[in-house]
Amino acid sequence: MTGTRADLLISGGLVLTFGGDKEILENGAVAVADDRIIAVGEASGLGRQIGANEVLNASGCLVMPGLINLHTHAAMTCFRGLADDLPLQEWLHEHIFPAETLYLCEETVYWATLLAVAEMIKSGTTTFCDGYFYEDGAARAVIDSGIRAVLAQGVIDFPAPGIPDPGINLKAAEAFILRWRDKSSRLDTSIFCHSPYTCSPETLIGAKEICREHRVLFQTHLAETQAELDETQKRYGRRPVAHLEALGLLDAKTLCHHAVRVNEGEIELLAHSSVGVSHNPESNMKLASGVAPLPRMLAEGVNVGLGTDGCASNNNLDMFQEMDTAAKLHKVHQGDPALSSALEIAAMATYGGAAALGMTAIVGSLEPGKKADIIIIDLNQPHLTPLYEPCSHLVYATRGADVRDVVIDGRVLMRQRQLRGIDEKQIMAKVREIAAGIGRKQ
């Protein structure tokens, strides 16, 4: 190791690796060359062994893997606060679907996704998993901004933004995969079938076949509400999880969002099938969808990560707030303060998200050989003083605004709270213009 040259050395902070041994280094360092971590260790040792082109002083800070937002509709930042305090079906069918039909285009999705990216980077998210319409705009935003993402073209069995003929929805989704799959190492493609009640069995099977052919992730909302459960049973005589199982869709390359209305047997099936699940407590609470059985899913070994959902059903993309909500919700719901420990929840926001995406080989922990996706949190603040247990601080005290620096793919994309590579003021101005047009027509 002596004589090794690094592009970046992050040194002097409290380092949480979230690796297999969940190592904590009191005075640690992380060395980065190109887009990869090449060493993690004590600052004194690495400082002697490795020369660096740039040193980032993390004294008084906490250094950890970037957060993974497992479920977003990023461009819905343009609908933030548009139709609040409504039941899910009314919210979707009377407000969100019509707004998407009237106002979405590729440029709107581009700027609204850039706004989401700015918000996510500034609150510590380095990877997000998305599904929406006009997803070419989202792909452009990801490439321009430097963030890492899994992006899915949305599929639904009625006229949708950009795809007025539902008969070509799968062709359009496959074309999206082919257009973007090799454009950037930070961008993975996917297909997102909206749900078992808005996509026919033929559509679901066809989408999964395309995903298998191209070795990409298949996504869907699953068992989110009682209404979905009732509708699926009425149409197909099966609950949503059993319906997807009967169609042959459950495997390690399937990611199911919400999984609120799942029973014991379905949880076992999800675990046995190695399906990924996103837990979205704030969205579930806001839309009164219910409380997902997270402790049971974790106990059964389901690959569960955390997601915010879109800004129309959550209103922000702050994963630290999502962690805090997830930890507290299940304690009060089941009357057990020992449930959903800070360590469990923090791991879900990092390594758990990577596992659900099938990306643990490259992200989710700070280990040599993995992508250099790293965040630095400023601990020198009243609400983070004193510090006894780091994960407790992450889940119960830290805010997105406490993130000081962000490194993605080896590049410093935020330093001292200042974004690099994208113009935050320009992005906000563009989305305000878009929102002014939407607001005039409400």
Instruction: Report pLDDT digits (tens) over 82-131.
Output: 888 888 788 888 888 888 888 899 999 999 999 999 999 999 999 999 99
Provide mean pLDDT across the span 230-239: 96
Residue 20, both tokens: 């297999």
CA distance 35 to 58: 19
Mean pLDDT of the 420-432 span: 97
Q: Is 286 in contact with 318 (CB distance < 8 Å)? A: no
CA distance 85 to 93: 14
CA distance 381 to 19: 27
Question: 3-state SS of 273-301?
Answer: CCCEEEECHHHHHHCCCCCCCHHHHHHHC
State both tokens at 360: 């643990």
Q: Could you tell me which residues come within 8 angstroms of residue 146 by beta carbon, excluding any fewer than 6 positions away?
A: 186, 408, 409, 411, 413, 421, 422
* Alpha-carbon dihedral angle through residues 33, 34, 38, 40, given to the nearest 10 degrees: 80
- pLDDT interval class at 438 (50, 70, 90): confident
Q: Position 260: which residue type?
A: V
Q: What was the pLDDT predicted at 1?
A: 58
For the chain, percent of residues with pLDDT exceeding 90: 90
Q: Give residue 403's domain range.
A: 4-65+365-419
Domain of 410, CATH number, reads: 2.30.40.10
- pLDDT tens for 179-234 read 999 999 999 999 999 999 999 999 999 999 999 999 999 999 999 999 999 999 99
Do residues 256 and 228 make contact, with C-beta atoms less than 8 angstroms apart? no
Cα 57 to the center of its chain, rounded Å: 28
Classify residue 102: in a domain, yes or no: no
Whether residue 292 has pLDDT greater than 70: yes
185 in a structural domain = no
Question: Is residue 166 one of the residues assigned to a domain?
Answer: no
- Asked if the structure places residue 442 within a domain, the reply is no
For residue 308, the model assigns a pLDDT of 98
Whether the pLDDT of residue 254 is over 80: the answer is yes
Indicate the SS3 state at residue 68. Answer: strand
Confidence of residue 3 (pLDDT cuts 50, 70, 90): low
**Domain for residue 391, yes or no?**
yes
Is residue 405 over pLDDT 60?
Answer: yes
Number of H helices, E strands in the chain: 17, 17
Degrees, nearest 5: CA angle 324-409-32: 100
What pLDDT does residue 57 have? 97
Element (H, E) at 326: helix 319-334
Rounded distance, CA 182 to CA 178, Å?
8
For 149, phi then psi, to 5°, come to: -155, 155
- Which residues lie across from 69 on neighbouring strands? 128
Average of per-residue pLDDT values in the chain: 95
pLDDT tens readout for residues 303-359: 999 999 999 899 999 999 999 999 999 999 999 999 999 999 999 999 999 999 999
Q: Are 149 and 128 in contact (CB under 8 A)?
A: yes
Residue 392 within any structural domain of the chain: yes
- What is the number of structural domains in the chain? 1
Residues with Cβ within 8 Å of 336's Cβ and at least 6 positions away in sequence, in order, are none
22 pLDDT tier (thresholds 50, 70, 90): low
Q: Average pLDDT in the 153-164 region?
A: 95
φ and ψ at residue 205, rounded to 5 degrees:
-65, -45
According to DSSP, the residues that pair with 56 across neighbouring strands are 10
> pLDDT tens digit string along 35-48?
999 999 999 989 88
Q: How far apart are CA 24 and CA 14, in angstroms?
A: 7
Residue 371's pLDDT is: 98
pTM of the model as a whole: 0.97
In a domain, 240, yes or no: no
230 falls within a domain: no
pLDDT in tens, 369-400: 999 999 999 999 999 999 999 999 999 999 99
Residue 56's φ and ψ, nearest 5 degrees, are -110, 115
